[in-house]
Amino acid sequence: MSRIGKLPIAIPAGVTVDIKDGVITVKGKLGELSQKFYDHVIIEVEGDQVHVKPNEAAVEAGSKHGLYRALVANMIKGVSEGFETVQEFVGVGYKAEAKGQILEMALGFSHNIFMEMPPEIKIETINERGKNPILKMRSYDKQLLGQVAAKIRSMRKPEPYKGKGIKFEGEVLRRKAGKAAGK
C-alpha cells in the first residue's frame, strides 16, 4: 500500500469538495477543477479532510492509490493557492513578450513565434536590461501549467555547450567541455 496514499488531505477554508458518479469536483477562490476516478480507489470526505483508500477488489488498486491521492491534493492546493512556474530565456537576442494572452517569443529563428495561452493561465514577462528575459506563468491547474511550460521549453531546449535555450529557474544544466584546442 502506498505511503503517500495513506496520508489524509486537509481541506482549507473556502474550498468545497464534491464527489458524484465517479467524478471529484473541487471549487475554491481561484477556480474549479474536476477529475474522473475509477473504481480502483475510494475517495471519502470526512469533516475537513479527504481520505483516499484503495479498493481491495480492484487489481490495480495499489498502483493507483498514491496517484489519485496526489491528483486530489494538487487540485485542492491549486484552487486555494495556485501554482507558478518561472522560465528563463538564455541566449543573445532571445526575447519573450506578453501581449494579453498571447506570448511572442524571439528564439533565434528567422521569424517570431506566437503562442496563445489557455484562459486558465496568467502570464507575465520581465525584461530587464543586462539580464535574461523571464517568463512567469500562474494557474490553478498544475497539469495544464506543466504541459504549457514543457511546450514552450521544447521550442528551444538548453544546449549543453553554451547553455543557450529556455530553461526553468533554478535548473542545473549538465555542461560539456567542447572541443579541445589543437595539440
Check residue 70 and give its pLDDT: 94
Q: Which domains does the chain have, with CATH numbers?
A: 3-80 (3.90.930.12), 83-168 (3.90.930.12)
Q: With a cut of 70, say whether residue 17 has pLDDT above it.
A: yes
At 134, is the secondary structure helix, strand, or coil? strand
Collect all residues with Cβ–Cβ distance below 8 Å to 86 and sequence separation of at least 6.
Answer: 134, 135, 136, 137, 168, 169
- What confidence category does residue 56 fall into, taking pLDDT thresholds of 50, 70 and 90? confident
* Angstrom distance (rounded) from CA 43 to CA 157: 39
pLDDT(183) > 70 = no
Q: Phi then psi for 68, rounded to 5 degrees?
A: -70, -35
What pLDDT is stored for residue 64 in this prediction?
86
Q: What is the pTM of this model?
A: 0.88
